[in-house]
A and B are shown apart, each in its own frame.
Chain A
Amino acid sequence: MVTKSAQWLRSIPLPLLRNALLIAVLGVCFIYSASFRTFDGFAGRQIAWIAVGLVFFFVTVQLGYRFFLGISYVFYLFAIACLVWVDVAGEVHLGAQRWIELGPFSFQPSEFAKLAAVLSLANFLGSHPPWEGEGRAILTAGFLVGLPFLLVMKQPDLGTATLFLPLGIVVLFLWGLRYRYLIVALLSGLLVSPFVWSVLKAYQKKRILVFMNPNLDPLGAGYTAVQSKIAVGSGGLFGKGWLHGTQSQLDFIPEHHTDFIFSVIAEEMGFVGSLALLFLFGSLFYQIFLVIDRTTDAKARLLGAGLLAIMFFQVLVNVGMTFGVLPITGITLPLISYGGSSLVSNAIALGLLVSVHKGRSIF
């Protein structure tokens, strides 16, 4: 029994898990730094969430990615139902609603909709290779990604919604979509953007306009952007030291334990610290690429690429917004930002990747 579980553990690729845990622990340190003055206890709760995440991780590995692919459509329908439910509840409560309350817990269905979309997309495209006809496959794929995209955007959560786009593009690209279709897709994206613009809420339009010209909104998002940039820049080469940030400590930046956690890290650890964190993420992505490289299962390849796309795009946008090269959207930094739903969904994603690694054919 002992030897069996030891064997099972040994089959898990250590570098990937180690990297992920290291990133999560770093996250706890800086959540603590961002919130210790207000005694909110976010750091303690994050540790609990990491434990919960580990449970989800091992359960996912045990069940295996094939099990998840098998239930992907059911999972997808369930996630869509949750999004619609949140939407309806939001109408009733007269306000944006992103959470579903489950007794003492509440979760963000959009986090799980991302997973559901990747799983069903990989399952569908993996069994419809491009040489069997691209047209219908592309339409179905577009629908699988487009539906949750629209529902999340309607919440309104522009940031999370945009994550569905790189997800769809990367998976289709790796699936073998011809370049000319890719170009057509990009062009048609440009064509529909005025339509998308018209359905955006006033505050979302404002955020985009403010990103292009921060002076438009000196009281709101523009101010946050400037203050976050000052926090990052004033960190310098070596930073002000853990717990010694000034910008982020003084509440200049809202949500510094969630969306703007990177400003805290960059201010307190400086360029060296931010580079180290980027390096950790880079090596995590490298591990994921290895997993994708080594599998021979077409579905697993696509699944891995989709999960990678989500995680990578979150890192890119989240870090980019803290020093003003990308617009401010409510996208969290994976494994670092405070939040149970995001941590659990990332744990499941890593579990799926590890399971792909274990399931590779070794000849």
Chain B
Amino acid sequence: MRLNILKGAVFGALFLLAAGLFDTQVLKAGYYRSLSENNRIRLVPLEAPRGRVLDRAGRLLATNRPAYHLVATPEDVTPTVYPKLATLLGISEKEVRKRMSSEREYPFAPVLLQPDISQKLLFQIEELRPELPGVSIQTDGIRSYPYGEVASHLIGYLGKVSPEEYRAGDRARFGLNSLIGRTGLEKLFDGQLRGWRGGRQVEVNARGEMLRVITETPPVAGEDVVLTIDLEFQKKLAEIIEPKKATVAFLDLKSHELLALVSSPAFDPNVFVSPGGGEERLGFLRDHRSPLLDRGVSASYPPGSVFKLVTALAALEAGKITPHTTFHCPGYFRLNGRGRAFRCWRPEGHGSLDLYRAIERSCNVYFYNVGRLVGPDTLAEMSRRLGLGQSFETELTNLAPGLVPDSVWKKSRMKEKWWPGETLSFAVGQGFLLVSPLQVLRLSAILAKDGEWIEPILIREAGSASKPLEKKMAIQSKNLQVIRQGMLKVVHSDYGTGQLARVDFGQLAGKTGTAQAPPHDPHAWMTGFFPFKDPQIAFVVMLEHGGSGGIAAARVVKEALQVWKEFYGDKVSPVA
């Protein structure tokens, strides 16, 4: 009984299949046959425009400009077309044939002969169109960066998808000639910026000319990304440090937003999307000044005397010193009677000084003594708490982790115990210690915000201003107050190392650093916050092999602060 039901189902279904085939193959045969002749149905992909990247004021950092691509459908091309195209494009006929036979997504898809052609060539081709069957022009958006080199390290650059990426990717997102973010925000936000491709099924005549559109799915544009960066401000800052190998960054202390993150020398990301840019791209790679390197976030350097702030705070927190603890500086320091002399930067010595003066004058010998009191592991712990050697949640690629050494690290890495002399180097920011300028910026911000943990913000949520999480660290306020007081003296005392950075519209607090990097010139550092009371911004300046922090870096700080005042100064109360 049940078997008969099964029989009925099987043969009934086969009958329905046969009926369906009869409908398709006999009743509608004429319709399908006409479609199959000359393969009348063609597929035209519609590329989605990539999302834009805007700065905090809505200025365009990355957008799309219209471009014309020369394409051809090889099936429709007649042999007479090859020599004509060769003359028009100024390439050999062999090259035309080569491009004509490049890989395609599906049969009858047009191949890209020449991307982004000039207006002149466009008109020439349009005139010759009747003699060029199969050849057509595709209009499309092409990535463009109106600000050129400004913020180029942040935005990163695009490259063509590799065959592997194309095969692994979704057809709705990647075509054979699609571009994909290789570094920076273009890479990090590729999924968001990339839209969804659409397509059009068209019916064509025997010459490959379109008769009508059968179905069309419009492409969906990628989403925009809005940055906290102020591009005009960034541009002005870049003008100060160019063409030096340097970096400068500003952070808004109220919102934790990055206002500027400049690295010099920079590159023009437009070169990576322009078809003829191959030579220039190679130039970037060969340039010994490494313009592709983001010195602010992707490189680490010894911080030099800037690190004395950390050493001081570690000792205060550990109760090893008070602000009034005094040491004598004769210009050098010996671990024991016959040992090597560790020099202060001032050969004649600083005499007796307390902590405030030691910060103000950046006395090495004072901090050698302090370093010996606290030891390397306490220094390392405080460094990490203040974000040195620590990662960021900020949306940046290729973040340099930096390196905070301690005795355990030394043992496992060098198979050797930690030597007392290394503690002295560590205490003044030399030796194994490496930090990125962005980490130093965060350090200043944490000090300015009285021990609040800072995650710099780079991306704005749709439309709204950023609301940072307030996360206080367990560091005593009175100790932070001492450090800030020292930083004020660095700039405003007549013995301070950062006097050259003084500005006439408010009290500046900072710390200079001259990090030894033999055999070349030292790296010049200065970091700090402004104004001293109720700080609004934190900043860092680093000049790679730029010389003295108190001279080279402090000068840049002064100029940068003046630029900042032009942009945001009306909110700053004048000097009382």
Contacts and interface: CB of A to CB of B under 8 A. Distances in A.
Whether A associates with B in a native complex is yes
Interface of A: 95, 170, 173-174, 176, 202-203, 214-220, 223, 226-227, 229-237, 246-247, 250-252, 266, 270-271, 274-275, 278, 281-282, 285, 289, 292-293, 305, 308, 312, 315-316, 319-320, 323, 325
B7 A235 contact: no
B25 A270 contact: yes
Nearest 3 pairs of A and B residues by beta carbon: A233-B32, A218-B199, A234-B36
B6 A230 contact: no
The secondary-structure label for the interface of chain A is: helix
Interface string B1-29: 01101110011011001101110111011
A233 B14 contact: no
Please classify how large the interface on chain B is, using the bins under 10, 10 to 19, 20 to 34, 35 or more.
Answer: 35 or more
B20 A325 contact: yes
Interface stretch (B37-45, B143-151, B255-263, B346-354): B37-45
B7 A271 contact: no
A119 B45 CA distance: 48
Contacts of A214: 215
Contacts of B200: 218
Contacts of B37: 234
A263 to B, nearest CB: 11
Contact of B2 (A174, A266, A312): A174
B123 interface: no
Contact of A230 (B3, B41, B198, B217): B41
A173 B6 contact: yes
B254 interface: no
Given A218-B217, A233-B24, A271-B25, 8 more contacts: A174-B6, A233-B35, A234-B36, A274-B25, A278-B14, A289-B3, A320-B20, A323-B21
A223 B43 contact: yes
A229 B20 contact: no
A282 B22 CA distance: 17
Contacts of A251: 107
Given A218-B200, A232-B25, A270-B25, A223 B33 contact: no
B523 interface: no
9 contacts: A174-B2, A218-B198, A220-B172, A233-B33, A234-B35, A250-B107, A289-B3, A319-B21, A323-B24
Given A215-B217, A278-B14, A308-B10, A232 B41 contact: no
B442 interface: no
Contact of B6 (A170, A271, A323): A170
Given A219-B172, A274-B25, A278-B17, A229 B6 contact: no
Nearest to A311: B10
Contacts of A274: 18, 21, 25
A164 to B, nearest CB: 18
Given A215-B215, A232-B24, A250-B107, A316 B13 contact: yes
Contacts of A176: 2
B410 interface: no
A271 B22 contact: yes
Given A170-B6, A215-B217, A217-B172, A233 B29 contact: yes
A320 B23 CA distance: 13
B350 to A, nearest CB: 61
B17 A218 contact: no
A246 to B, nearest CB: 6
Nearest to B17: A319
A341 to B, nearest CB: 24
B201 to A, nearest CB: 5
B106 interface: yes
B419 interface: no
A233 B31 contact: yes
Contacts of B22: 271
